[in-house]
Amino acid sequence: MIQERPFDILSKSTGKQVLIRLKGGVSIRGTLTSFDAHMNVVIESAEELEGGDLKAKLGTILLRGGNIIYVSPV
């Protein structure tokens, strides 16, 4: 069994749609365009979700790694 490291999964998800959960319960969906060693991420076509439904279209955003609870490929 090959174990993937967290940055391996982020690298594979670059250019693809991801779901990100932030502290405070906010969920963001969009295309992961880049990330750094602090897990700061840039998301394009970002949308804020509430209960799985679209709440707001945000465009291109930068999320600070310290606020991210998880990143999930969609």
Give me the DSSP letters along 8-66: HHHHHHTTSEEEEEETTS-EEEEEEEEE-TT--EEEEEEEEEETTEEEEEEEEEEE-GG
In which band, very low, low, confident or very high, does the pLDDT at 36 lie, cut at 50, 70 and 90? very high
Q: Which domain holds residue 41?
A: 6-69
Q: Is residue 56 part of a domain?
A: yes
* CATH classification of the domain holding 25: 2.30.30.100
Per-residue model confidence (pLDDT) at position 4: 85
**Exposure on the CB side of residue 52, measured as CA atoms within 13 A:** 1
Q: What is the per-residue pLDDT for 60?
A: 98
pTM: 0.91
> Is the residue at 26 inside a domain?
yes
- The answer to whether residue 54 sits within a structural domain is yes
Give the count of domains, the chain: 1
Q: Is residue 19 part of a domain?
A: yes
57: confidence class by pLDDT, cuts 50, 70, 90: very high
Task: Spell out a b/e string for 28-62, using b for 16 or more CB atoms within 10 Å of the CB, else e.
Answer: bbbbbeebeeebebbbeebbbbeeeeeeeeeeeee
Residue 74 lies in a domain: no
Has residue 32 been placed in a domain?
A: yes
